[in-house]
């Protein structure tokens, strides 16, 4: 049985429809990430699950039980906010024990549960340290510990890494990933950061304007984006998008733009239903564009390097193909610099094709 089932959730704030028709489920020990830009409805959805907002319509089931009319404190849900809300004047022990004391759990049982939880989350060596003396990583662990000590059926994380700098976020993302695996509790994680989602989630639900645009594993979302929005939102640098149309040269199928002609005959059966003259967008991720100083592939296109951005073992190459600007993410090559003439090859197995009008994926 899924730990969480959300059915046809809808939320109005006056005339504004923040959540339009959201349905999903989270299995035991699974982490589902609600990913999307600000205002897409992800946090409102989380707050409805937690009982902090009342849905206009729809249903929320936790561990098989309908909880629409159940108060937040009785839903058996743990919630961790952006700022962790650690009590600075209380010790780690008392921070974790706070919810148990509120519920008047017997002292001996409370101590056992706090110590077991502290051991699980790796803070058993600092139980006497005050909250105001904790580093960010320990604060994160204590906030989660305070939630899971209550034995929740479900853990909700509302952008827990959004208020810290990039270096600390990288470290804490890894810490949180390890902690999630150790805890093994069904989790809904809200973020606008695609890297967090792709690193931490078993499945991702990409939200846009109150709806789930696509839901799936990281590879499904990344490799088989169903819409133009998802394709553009996931991936860094963002996907190259080229205006084109499908034309036929005898039996050959060609995606043609003013500056590009790409033979896609091998995909003719998949894209064969496209109406002649339909406006299309060819999508290719920068890491699926390889470059070389020599023409090693018959489909390679000559380009000039406009800019090189070194990023360690790889570089991002800004290419100009006639009037077409394309990004390539390839191995760092010392002999290729600004002004170099190179040959760029698109990985045809990784091509994306979208209907420009509907923004739906064709390939």
The H or E element that residue 314 is part of is: strand 314-321
| 249 and 228 share one domain | no
Please report the pLDDT score of residue 137 as a whole number.
80
Is residue 346 one of the residues assigned to a domain?
A: yes
| 182 and 262 share one domain | no
| 254 and 226 share one domain | no
| 182 and 251 share one domain | no
| 119 and 228 share one domain | yes
Whole-structure pTM value: 0.89
How many structural domains are present in the chain?
2
Is residue 73 one of the residues assigned to a domain?
A: yes
| 114 and 172 share one domain | yes
Last residue of a domain, one of 211, 233, 255: 233
Which residues of the chain carry a pLDDT beneath 50? none
Q: What tens digit of pLDDT does each residue of 282-293 get? A: 999 999 999 999
Is residue 299 one of the residues assigned to a domain?
A: yes
Please report the pLDDT score of residue 271 as a whole number.
81
| 155 and 287 share one domain | no
Show contacts of 1-4: CB within 8 Å, 24+ apart.
Answer: 1/63, 1/64, 2/26, 2/27, 2/28, 2/61, 3/27, 3/28, 3/30, 3/62, 3/63, 3/153, 3/154, 3/186, 4/49, 4/60, 4/61, 4/62, 4/154, 4/186, 4/188
Query: Is the separation of the CB atoms in 30 and 9 below 8 Å?
Result: no
CATH of the domain at 194: 3.40.50.300
Is residue 363 one of the residues assigned to a domain?
A: no
| 133 and 46 share one domain | yes
Is residue 35 one of the residues assigned to a domain?
A: yes
CA 190 to chain centre: 9
Please report the pLDDT score of residue 180 as a whole number.
79
Cα–Cα distance measured from residue 333 to residue 15, given in angstroms and rounded to the nearest whole number: 55
Please report the pLDDT score of residue 277 as a whole number.
67
> Domain span at residue 103?
4-233
Last residue of a domain, one of 190, 208, 233: 233
Last residue of a domain, one of 181, 198, 233: 233
| 133 and 279 share one domain | no
Q: What tens digit of pLDDT does each residue of 187-203 get? A: 999 999 999 999 999 99
CATH of the domain at 299: 2.40.50.140
| 244 and 226 share one domain | no
Please report the pLDDT score of residue 331 as a whole number.
93
Q: What tens digit of pLDDT does each residue of 136-169 get? A: 888 888 888 888 888 899 999 898 877 667 777 7
Query: Is the separation of the CB atoms in 158 and 83 below 8 Å?
Result: no
Is residue 344 one of the residues assigned to a domain?
A: yes
In angstroms, how far apart are the furthest CA atoms of the chain?
83
Please report the pLDDT score of residue 85 as a whole number.
79
Please report the pLDDT score of residue 163 as a whole number.
67
Is residue 361 one of the residues assigned to a domain?
A: no
| 115 and 164 share one domain | yes
Cα–Cα distance measured from residue 147 to residue 78, given in angstroms and rounded to the nearest whole number: 5
Is residue 124 one of the residues assigned to a domain?
A: yes
| 70 and 160 share one domain | yes
């Amino acid at each position: 049985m899924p730990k969480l089932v959300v059915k046809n959730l809808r939320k109005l704030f006056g005339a504004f429809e923040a959540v339009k028709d959201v349905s999903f489920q989270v299995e035991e020990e699974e982490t589902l990430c609600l990913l999307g830009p600000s205002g897409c409805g992800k946090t409102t959805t989380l707050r409805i699950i937690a009982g902090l907002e009342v849905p206009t319509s729809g249903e929320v089931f936790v561990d098989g039980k309908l909880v629409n009319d159940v108060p937040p404190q009785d839903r058996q849900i743990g919630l961790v906010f952006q700022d962790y809300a650690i009590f600075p004047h209380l010790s780690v022990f008392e921070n974790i024990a706070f919810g148990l004391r509120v519920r008047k759990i017997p002292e001996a049982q409370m101590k056992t549960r706090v110590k077991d939880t502290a051991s699980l989350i790796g803070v058993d060596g600092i139980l006497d340290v005050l909250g105001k003396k904790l580093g960010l990583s320990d604060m994160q662990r204590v906030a989660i510990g305070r939630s899971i000590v209550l034995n929740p059926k479900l853990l909700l994380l509302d952008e827990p890494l959004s208020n810290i700098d990039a270096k600390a976020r990288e470290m804490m993302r890894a810490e949180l990933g390890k902690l999630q695996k150790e805890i093994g509790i069904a989790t809904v994680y809200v973020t606008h950061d695609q890297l967090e989602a792709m690193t931490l989630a078993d499945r991702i639900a990409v939200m846009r304007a109150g709806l789930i645009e696509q839901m799936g594993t990281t590879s499904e979302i990344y490799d088989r984006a169903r819409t133009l929005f998802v394709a553009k939102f996931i991936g860094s640098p963002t996907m190259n998008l080229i205006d084109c149309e499908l034309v036929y040269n005898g039996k050959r199928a060609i995606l043609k733009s003013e500056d590009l002609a790409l033979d896609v005959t091998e995909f003719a059966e998949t894209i064969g239903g496209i109406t002649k003259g339909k406006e299309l967008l060819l999508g290719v991720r920068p890491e699926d564009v390889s470059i070389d100083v020599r023409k090693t592939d018959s489909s390679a296109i000559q380009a000039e390097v406009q800019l090189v951005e070194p990023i360690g073992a790889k570089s991002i190459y800004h290419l100009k193909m006639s009037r077409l600007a394309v990004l390539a993410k390839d191995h760092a090559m010392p002999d290729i610099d600004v002004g170099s003439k190179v040959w760029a090859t698109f990985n045809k197995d990784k091509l994306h094709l979208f209907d420009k009008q509907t923004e739906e994926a064709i390939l």
